[in-house]
Amino acid sequence: MNKTKARLSATIDTNLLTKLNKIIRKEKVTRSSIIEKALEQMLKQIQEKELETAYRNMKKEDQEIADLTLYAQTEILP
C-alpha cells in the first residue's frame, strides 16, 4: 500500500534529539520512521483508552437501566 507523506517541522528538547539520534544510528533507520512509529503507538494507546472509557460508561449505564427495570418490576408484580 502506497502511503502519502507530508513534511513536518517540529521543535523538540535537545536531550530528546540526542537520544533519538543514538537510536537511529544503532537501529539504522530514519528519524521520520522512528517518529512515525512512535506517533502511531501513541495514537493507538489514546484510542484504546477512549474505547475502554466508553465501555466502562456503557457498563455503568447498563447497570442503571437494570436497576430501574428491577424497581419497576417490583412495583408491577405482586
Residue 30 lies in a domain: yes
pLDDT, one tens digit per residue, over 9-60 is: 999 999 999 999 999 999 999 999 999 999 999 999 999 888 888 877 777 7
* Model pTM score: 0.63
Residue 1 lies in a domain: no
- What's the pLDDT score for residue 78? 61
Residue 59 lies in a domain: yes
Evaluate whether 20 touches 36 at the Cβ level (below 8 Å).
no
CA separation for the pair 33, 40 (Å, rounded): 10
Domain span at 64: 14-76
Residue 68 lies in a domain: yes
Residue 37 lies in a domain: yes
Contacts of 30 (CB under 8 A, 6+ apart): 24
Residue 4 lies in a domain: no
In the chain, the number of structural domains is 1
